[in-house]
Chains A and B, each alone.
Chain A
Amino acid sequence: MEYVDAVALIKKYDIDFAEGSIVRSVDEALKAAEYPVALKIMSDEISHKSDKGCVKLNVKDEDSLRKAYSEIMSNVGSAKVDGVLVQRMAKPGLELIVGGRRDKQFGPVVLFGLGGIFVEVFKDFSLRVCPIDRNDALEMISEMKAYQLLTGARGTKPVDIEAIVDLLQKASKLLYENKQINEMDLNPVIAYEKGYCAVDVRVLP
């Protein structure tokens, strides 16, 4: 599914998302930017975008933006490009993953995990069959091995559990009601003391 359609879909379910706009020239990018911003190539033909130098984070001013934009474009190679996403940098917080897919046997399932190394190395994630109720969502969160990171450990502040419960239920509802979706990822979702912000979305029909 196209990025803009995916964004429209999650907004329909009232999921908080980091606003951004897709531009096709450096001038458009300069106009769209509210610093600091992140730049990211929009192309189906490029995977592992950050490894390939097609993502630039924390771009702070016009000069850096010009430089970042041209660097991205020089890393594209022969891939077909749909534009560049200019997105306001989300404030730092705790990185989470919310997603889901359609299981052949049980239908849509919703996934919750901690971002970065937690999900990759420790396989720290939880899963439920959609739709889920509030209690299911709470259990998904509390069964994480790294649960203490969410409730505040060693000086870190707790994140807004209620907001995440709400997000999980919305994601579950979205997956349950849209039978055409095969896979969805909100990755990362950045959780704060109050609220959260989904930074990227990917939907596969």
Chain B
Amino acid sequence: MNIDVLFNPNSVAVIGASRDPGKIGHVLLRNFIEGGFRGQIYPINPKSDEILGLKCYLSVNNIKGDVDLAVIAIPANFVPDALRECGEKGVKGAIVISGGFSEVGNVELENELKEVCAKYDIACLGPNCMGVINPLTRVDSVFIPTYKMGRPKLGGVSFISQSGAIGGAVLDLMARQGFGMSKFVSYGNGAVLDETDLLRYMADDERTRIIVLYIEGVRRGREFFETLKGVTKRKPVVVLKGGKTAVGAAATKSHTGSLAGNAAVYDAVFKQCKATEARNLDEIFNFSKLFESQPFCNGERVGIITNGGGLAVIASDSVEENGLKIASLSEESRRRINEKVPAYVNVRNPLDLSGDAGADRFEVAVQAMLEDSNVDALLVGVLFQTESIDSRVVSMLVEASNLKKKPLLVVCPGGEYAEVHGRILENCGVPTYTSSASAVRSLRKLVDYSKFMGKK
């Protein structure tokens, strides 16, 4: 089965393309056209001659050229026949947007869909899914208008989502936060292709550096387990499992049967496979932006630099709470920093540069700690509220981060001004957090994964 054709087709047929702007079939076609899809686009609709300036076809069989991918948004009952026609035509991939299959109890119809896809060897996503976004080839079958949901820029994170709704929300957030995405795929009912197939595909995909997975359950547990175990040896997988709590309450008895409930087994699977488990959507972002932009972390010793004593204290607490260590600075770096900072700055770790520190003082400290072999990762807490802090500290941090010597995380809590600068940092690939708790928890995950990759 050719899964790749779903992400990199040369031509696409939109089955159920519509003139009515309120219909999914219209939004789909519009997104392909306006999104700048580079290949041929064929609208299929027996009742129209032309939609959005493109010649409309009765069926895929009426198209002269090859069709690689069909995106199907027609009532469920007609889907198997449409897929049959695709099979006859030699279409290799299909995205079935339409709902009305096993999710509403219509198992028979879904089985028919499966049979047709098996017969013609069609790589099929769905039914009941949002399909694919590939910012590189501009494939976009997510039937949400671009003014309602932004599309992320091109980058290294690929996102596999069982749920369409979560997928949509995450895409929108990714676009807003300037996150770089390689591929997005929502697989809905997973009748033909499921999470295991897609995980395998993303593992082999060279443009995917990090895989983010949202699942509520898996179809083939054992194969999923074996696959996940193999994939994490090649690239990090951040996973969020929905629907965990119902079981928590059941785990009250002390014998194994009730302790080892469903949620606990998933926890075990993720731990054993060295996947990084996120507890919520925020953590998906917190973890993957760190994994994507920063080098592996070779130890647990954290250097903390701030312009506010309180922030240094809170950050140190977070380091302890997450089982990391406060680095003790080398003689050399203490000497280097001492030379350049006023006498009232107490040069130690955590390093409080004092409220009147500007970009230059931060730079001295960051450079010294980047070169200090006693420090494995840097946490830079910037209070943008103070008089001497402005955009210059942002440029300095971006440059330091680009060296990729060791993980560098920025914490900048605050309102509008802090947020704007935080967003610039993010967009320049510096992982930035609004709290030291979330920054350090993310660093903990990077340390764990780095340890595993070092050992393997």
Contacts and interface: CB of A to CB of B under 8 A. Distances in A.
B222 A125 contact: no
A127 B221 contact: no
A103 B272 CA distance: 15
B255 A129 contact: no
B268 A109 contact: yes
A127 B269 CA distance: 9
B256 A101 contact: yes
A20 interface: no
Interface string B217-232: 1100110110000000
B259 interface: yes
Interface stretch (A29-37, A64-72, A76-84, A181-189): A181-189
Contacts of A97: 254, 256
19 contacts: A97-B254, A99-B256, A100-B256, A103-B265, A105-B221, A105-B222, A105-B265, A107-B222, A113-B259, A119-B254, A123-B251, A123-B259, A127-B260, A127-B267, A129-B268, A136-B272, A184-B256, A185-B255, A185-B256
Interface in A161-194: 183-185, 187
Interface of A: 97, 99-101, 103-107, 109, 111, 113, 119-120, 123, 125-129, 132, 136, 139, 143, 183-185, 187
A109 B271 CA distance: 13
Contacts of A111: 256, 259-260
Contact of A129 (B251, B257, B259, B269): B269
**What is the size category of the interface that chain B forms with chain A?**
20 to 34
Interface in B263-302: 264-265, 267-269, 271-272
Q: Which of B254, B256, B257, B269 has the most CB of A within 10 A?
A: B256
A106 B269 contact: yes
B113 to A, nearest CB: 23
Given A105-B265, A139-B271, A119 B259 contact: yes
Contacts of A120: 254
Contacts of A100: 256, 260
A157 B218 CA distance: 43
A99 B258 CA distance: 11
Contacts of B268: 109, 126-129
A113 B256 CA distance: 9
